[in-house]
Chain A
Amino acid sequence: MTAMMLAPPLLPPLFQDWFASRGWAPRPHQLALLDHAARGDNVLLISPTGGGKTLAGFLPSLIELAKPHQRAGIHTLYVSPLKALAVDIARNLEAPVAEMNLPITIETRTGDTPHSRRKRQREKPPDILITTPEQLSLLVADAHAAHVLASLKNVILDELHSLVTSKRGVLLSLALTRIEAHAPASRRVGLSATVADPDALRAWLAPHGGASDRAPLVLGNAGAPPHIRILKSVERVPWAGHSSLYAIPEIYAEIGKAKMTLVFVNTRSQAEMVFQSLWNANEDNLPIALHHGSLDVGQRRKVEAAMAAGKLRAVVCTSTLDLGIDWGDVDLVIHVGAPKGSSRLLQRIGRSNHRLDEPSQALLVPSNRFEVLECEAALQAATALAQDTQYPFVLKFDVLAQHILGRACAGPFKPDELFAEVTRAWTYRNLSREDFDACIDFVATGGYALRAYERYAKLKAQPDGSLRLSHPSIAQQYRLNIGTIVEEEMLKVRLASVKKRLGKRLVTGGRVLGELEEWFLSQLAVGDTFLFAGEILRFEGLDEFGALATRSKSSEPAIPSYQGGKFPLSTYLAERVREMLGNPKSWPSLPPQVRDWLSMQRYKSLVPSAQQMLVETFPRGHYHYLVAYPFEGRLAHQTLGMLLTRRLERWGLQPLGFVASEYALVVWTVRDLSLMISAGRLDLDRLFDEDMMGDDLDAWLAESNLMKRTFRNAAIIAGLIERRWPGKEKTGRQVTVNSDLIYDVLRSHEPQHILLRAAWDDAADGLIDAYRLSAMLRRIRGQIVHRALDQVSPLSVPVMLEIGRESIYGEAHDALLAEAADQLIDEAMRLV
């Protein structure tokens, strides 16, 4: 009797017994979610990994479905960003369902689900359907959606924090408005890792203009704080570079000491390099594996299975293992290179030790001196569990266009009603009717001022004012182009066998090793060696299926696939790094080499305070250099470099080139800049004036390749260009027109077209970090300190070392072509 009184009233005896049989007690946040479910609230649960988050999300559904029920449609939808996660969740859910003998059907629906099963799911929907955002969009675009969704009660959105900062999240938010229309009584449950600004997620989750504009928040209890160390290398920390190869022996020793280590790196090429070096150092033959997105799926699954079975001691991986599944007993996370953001670091550290009460163990390995500062900042932030602020994506026209077409695929619709529905999404709450109509117009006929395509319209107006698909085949097209993930054009790499016949090499393709970017492969000549899938391969050429390669005996790959950091330094970490630099009291925590380096900088030049931006000018060789230290990440610096060189050129200062790093920017010229500044002929405040963000930015951006790439992505998402389906090009069923050509023509004939606006917004937001750059320019106004020096300063060495590694002025392709041609002339004229 007493026991009954104490037992939480919301948890039925069957479930209490099940918890008890497991030796568990329901956690407070799990009960809180039950409470909210009883009241029919939308709710956001923020909880660290390992806190029983998924079960918390499902518990209300399981309890409701435990009662005998009629199966009329889907009761609960669970949306996960990862296909693999969906399958795993389904498996985990089977356990309580089987153990309590619940009358619940659970199915998954991902891109891999065969057509026959989807058809069955439509005719006999399961109680719980586990799926991905893209599949959800397909589901609501189906004419049968109303029937399948009519009795829907719960929509559970997992890893919401990662979804909302991408276009996938925007598409998902639109699909949710459709679900709301079909099942007004359904509620949304968001599951998220810790974020800096929970209010943004709460607003995202609640229908805009609904009863409350923010979903209530439930917090899971935080686990033990992680235990993070920075590798205090006995070796010298390099001045520049990203390879961290100096630390391989120490990393290897750490792997030897742990049971199972995840070695995180930031890029694929880094992963390959670290993996290769670890194997060279692997005297004890430890089972170490490699995992990144370009590897063949089969190979990745093998690694995952081996991890889960405890057969591996370490896996070198990229962000492919950031999210999701518990693969085995990881007890150490090593992060090679700076983590670039506090949230990413916390997420990755969370991959070790999924038991909440024990601290996760992590080791940071900085790959150069600046990264020592960054790692230190990340460590402090992570120890304080401080998160980077990341803003949800809003108002993407290309995604809206895709949604509109999907809406039409489900049946005729009235634009007025769709507008009202779409603006229920927090992401589109500020959408203007004008822009909405432009998107409708785009979907119907391309939305061109020259109304040339009325007779080929995809949407036709009905007498009652509604719009319907003009032909059923368009729905087919829509299904093939669904989604917002636009891959780089990739080619398969196959291991080839070579036979010699009649003195000719015959190359035949074998098993697929993985996929590589087309631009990288197109750069290789037969015989070039490169690192891929953990091996040094020899390029043997291309055939109609992709690239062919053989194993090479050489020990050094000839073609490095160097890519700078994929993730820009987060604003939050950048601020911490600046503060650390500006506060010498914090230096004693740094390694001696780094301390000496900073002291030397203070002696020879200046170490700026957190508010200041230091600009140094000095001569070297034939040139004069200007180095600025904004600490805003490579992307923002690259944009700044473009704009500064344009301005310097206009002022007649003849800039020759620039290079940007995560922390600094260097521009070089033939003119003596120190002299110009002291003579008052170059005003640094004017040089860094915010007004460069106006016409200069527009002019540069319009010409840039970045813009062409964002345009391509927007055009594919919006459905202007069809995705490439391997094999189809050959049959001629797919006519592809290069998106660069489309961009050029559209820009010169209709610069205000909705897709160009979409592309500009994307570029300004992501690829060039324009918003961040302009915030920085505002920050440094009146805070620029200048030092004219006789020689290179200690702080400038890392960025100076980047010169020549990647030195290109603007996008001057003609200059490069001319240079290539001149080299030939040089060769031809050289006397042997």
Chain B
Amino acid sequence: MRYSPRPPISSSTRPCGLSRTQRIALGGIDFVPDLSGALYVPEFDTLIVADLHLEKASSIARRGVHLPPYDTRATLAQLAVAIEASNPRRLIFLGDSFHDNDAGSRIAQADVEKLAALLVDREAIWIVGNHDPVPPADLCTRLAGHVLLGSVLLRHAPGPLEPGLHEIAGHLHPAAAVAQRGHSIRCKCFIGDARRLVMPAFGSFTGGLSISAEPFVALFPSGDYAVWMLGSRAVHRFPAKRVY
């Protein structure tokens, strides 16, 4: 699937969930990080979210570990806030939207209706991930392996890039920490350089993988990257040397 840019929207007031100060530029396109971990693309009026892992709790419950069965509800509530902030025409789910292929059989009817209500009058594209190679057919009508926004390739897992292409992916659940005054503060984050960006996991039961971990080292071998950490009130940008 490929999209071309459309004329920029002229909006004077910015919704509150979107960062007021941070912009992430990739392939000549401006992306606005949202506090929730979503990424808004004004030029395409598109909101990108990665790794919702809906029905993760019920998936684990099958093994007899009974985590609170409210993760789907909480994730969708968070998604509602992010959607309200940017009111996008298009939503792109970056894969692992469902924790497993059977999630559709366990998801509560109320949550199905909530999701449907969020998607009314919006185009929703579901990129498949390793957790949901076959997402529930009744909920996800438009599936894709990847999506191109200009020169920016959206896909679930980061991978080798052809020259001229840029990439936004999820899959890795990045999280970074800053040490300040003897306190170590760790949050989910975006991590990126001039060529690629990895998005934080959006789901309420999704944890984080330290950006010092092997996959990130392999992805950013020069070590020259930045992170955008999701605080509780603002998105904060840090250069690589300041975080771990």
Residues of A whose CB lies within 8 Å of any CB of B are 445-446, 448, 450, 452-453, 456, 458, 470-471, 473-474, 477, 519, 522-523, 525, 542, 562, 720-722, 735-738, 741-742, 744-746, 748-750, 753, 806-808, 813-814, 816-821, 824
Contacts and interface: CB of A to CB of B under 8 A. Distances in A.
Contacts of A453: 58, 61, 66, 69
A677 to B, nearest CB: 31
Interface string B42-76: 00000000000000111011111111111101100
Given A448-B69, A735-B60, A737-B207, A817 B74 contact: no
A471 B234 contact: no
A824 B239 contact: yes
Given A523-B179, A817-B178, A817-B231, A737 B242 contact: no
A395 B145 CA distance: 54
Given A745-B204, A745-B205, A749-B73, A474 B64 contact: yes
Contacts of B186: 522
B211 interface: no
A573 to B, nearest CB: 28
Contact of A817 (B65, B204, B207, B229): B229
Given A470-B64, A737-B205, 13 more contacts: A450-B69, A453-B58, A458-B66, A735-B60, A737-B60, A741-B204, A742-B67, A745-B205, A746-B70, A749-B68, A808-B183, A814-B234, A818-B234
A450 B71 CA distance: 12
B180 A820 contact: yes
Contacts of A525: 244
A817 B183 CA distance: 10
User: Most chain-A Cβ atoms within 10 A of its Cβ — which of B181, B187, B212?
Assistant: B181
B183 A456 contact: no
Contacts, number: 128
Contacts of A471: 64
Contacts of A820: 178, 180, 236, 238, 242
A828 to B, nearest CB: 10
A458 B61 CA distance: 10
Given A745-B74, A814-B234, A446 B61 contact: yes
Contacts of B56: 737
Place the interface of chain B in its size category. Answer: 35 or more
A457 to B, nearest CB: 8
B159 interface: no
A553 to B, nearest CB: 25
B183 A816 contact: yes
A141 B56 CA distance: 31
A824 B238 contact: yes
A741 B179 CA distance: 21
B118 interface: no
B185 interface: yes
Nearest to B73: A749
Nearest to A806: B182
22 contacts: A448-B68, A448-B70, A450-B69, A452-B69, A453-B58, A473-B64, A522-B184, A523-B184, A737-B60, A737-B67, A741-B204, A745-B204, A745-B205, A748-B70, A750-B70, A814-B231, A816-B183, A819-B181, A820-B178, A820-B242, A821-B237, A821-B238
A522 B68 contact: no
A542 B67 CA distance: 31
A814 B205 contact: no
Nearest to A470: B64
A453 B67 CA distance: 10
B185 A720 contact: no
B184 A519 contact: yes
B108 interface: yes
B204 A456 contact: no
B133 to A, nearest CB: 17
Given A453-B69, A814-B232, A821-B238, A741 B178 contact: no
Contact of A816 (B73, B74, B181): B181
A446 B66 contact: yes
B183 to A, nearest CB: 6
B244 to A, nearest CB: 7
Contacts of B14: none
B169 interface: no
A720 B204 contact: no
Contacts of A750: 68, 70
B177 interface: yes
Contacts of B6: none
Contact of B205 (A523, A542, A562, A741): A741
A522 B244 contact: yes
A722 B65 contact: yes
A778 B45 CA distance: 59
Nearest to B210: A522
A745 B71 contact: yes
A522 B243 CA distance: 11
A445 B181 contact: no
Contacts of A456: 61-64, 66
A526 to B, nearest CB: 10
Interface string B17-48: 00000000000000000000000000000000
Interface in B138-194: 177-187
A446 B69 contact: yes
A738 B208 CA distance: 9
A397 to B, nearest CB: 15
Contact of B236 (A522, A542, A738, A821): A821
Contacts of B58: 452-453
Contact of A745 (B70, B207, B229): B70
Contacts of A446: 61, 66-69
Contacts of A562: 182
Interface in B219-242: 229, 231-234, 236-239, 242
B69 A813 contact: no
A817 B236 contact: yes
A338 to B, nearest CB: 23
A742 B64 contact: no
Nearest to B203: A741
A657 to B, nearest CB: 11
B74 A749 contact: yes
